[in-house]
């Protein structure tokens, strides 16, 4: 009698231990580990300076940015609060649209300020030339478009720009207040490997 009681207790104990350890394994699955930057081929961190012009064309036969949503109040509101646009804007080396194109600025910008002309920008800079061909930089920030100069964070990148961090300095080159067409000068300073 005493032996079988001990046996039952042992079986219970082993079963409980197995159940608990499998639960613990489920809570802490082995899905990560720490590796050396070298194992990803990451060498020296470097600072790149990119200079180009961003063409936002809202009117004419070939617009590069289109309104995709608006709040019922967006039109009447002088700050266009609630208006959202999708852009696929050419990036060129000079301020003229005909100058050499080095990529596109693709993404969303929305009027996010109820009182002033202030955009929230979520744009991927997609490069199509030279060393940066196929690489992207992701920009996310606040753009007060009537200010002489603006600074927007670069929050990441892909390809050559993996692990990128930095900022974009914006200056309006030309702005047509009737059409909204704008050419904006970008100076981007970005750390990458
Ligand atoms: C714009 O709209 C917001 C929200 O509807 C409102 O609070 C604000 O006063 C409006 N601004 C103007 C200039 O009409
Ligand atoms: C950029 O990369 C694409 C895809 O690999 C290629 O087709 C294109 O020719 C490249 N452009 C330049 C200018 O190197």
Residue 8 — very low, low, confident or very high, per pLDDT cuts 50/70/90? low
Mean pLDDT of 76-97: 94
**Ligand 1: does its nearest atom lie under 6 Å from the Cβ of 114?**
yes
Percent of the chain with pLDDT over 70: 85
Share of the chain above pLDDT 90, in %: 79
What is the C-alpha separation between 157 and 134, in angstroms, rounded?
A: 11
Span from the CA of 29 to the centroid of ligand 1 (angstroms): 50
Give the separation between CA 163 and CA 107, rounded to whole angstroms: 20
Question: What is the residue with the minimal CA distance to atom 13 of ligand 2?
Answer: 129
Tell me how far apart the alpha carbons of residues 102 and 92 are, in angstroms, rounded to a whole number: 6
Q: How confident is the model at residue 75 (pLDDT cuts 50, 70, 90)?
A: confident
Average pLDDT over residues 159-184: 96
Phi, psi of 63 (to 5 degrees): -65, 145
Evaluate: CB of 133 within 6 angstroms of ligand 2: yes
What pLDDT is stored for residue 74 in this prediction? Answer: 85
133 or 19, greater pLDDT: 133
CATH of domain 43-192: 2.40.480.10
Q: Looking at the predicted structure, is the pLDDT value of residue 135 above 70?
A: yes
Q: Which of 21-25, 63-67, 73-77 has the highest mean pLDDT?
A: 63-67
Whether the pLDDT of residue 4 is over 80: the answer is no
The rounded distance, in Å, linking the Cα atoms of 83 and 77 is 10
pLDDT at 110: 98
For the residues 112-125, what does the mean pLDDT come to? Answer: 96
Phi (first) and psi of residue 95, to 5 degrees: -70, -15
pLDDT tens digit sequence for 172-185: 999 998 999 999 99
HSE on the CB side for 193, CA within 13 Å?
Answer: 11
Does 100 contact ligand 2 (Cβ within 6 A)?
no
Q: What is the DSSP string of 43-106?
A: ---EEEEEEEEEEE--SSSS-SEEEEE--TTTTTSTT-TT-EEEEEEEEESSSSTTSPEEEEEE
Q: Quick check: 57 and 63 in contact, CB under 8 A?
A: yes
Which listed ligand is nearest to 111 at the C-alpha? 1
Distances (CA, A) of 60 to 43, 57, 95: 47, 8, 19
How far, in Å, are 66, 67, 70 from residue 76 at the CA level? 19, 15, 11
Q: Where are the domains of the chain?
A: 43-192
């Amino acid at each position: 009698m005493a032996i079988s009681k001990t046996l039952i207790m042992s079986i219970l104990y082993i079963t409980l231990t197995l159940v608990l350890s499998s639960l613990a394994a489920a809570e802490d699955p082995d899905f990560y580990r720490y590796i050396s930057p070298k194992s990803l081929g990451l060498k020296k961190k470097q600072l790149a300076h990119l200079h180009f012009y961003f063409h936002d064309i809202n009117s004419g036969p070939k617009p590069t940015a289109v309104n995709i949503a608006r709040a019922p109040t967006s039109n009447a509101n002088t700050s266009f609060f609630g208006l959202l646009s999708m852009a696929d804007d050419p990036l060129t080396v000079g301020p003229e649209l005909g100058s050499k194109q080095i990529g596109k600025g693709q993404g969303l910008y929305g009027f996010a300020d109820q009182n002033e002309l202030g955009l929230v920008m979520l744009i991927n800079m997609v490069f199509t030339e030279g060393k940066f061909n196929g690489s992207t930089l992701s920009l996310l920030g606040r753009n007060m478009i009537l200010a002489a100069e603006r600074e927007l964070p670069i929050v990441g990148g892909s390809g050559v720009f993996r692990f990128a961090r930095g900022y974009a300095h914006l200056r309006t080159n030309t702005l047509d207040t009737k059409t909204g067409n704008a050419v904006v000068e970008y100076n981007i300073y970005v750390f990458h490997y």
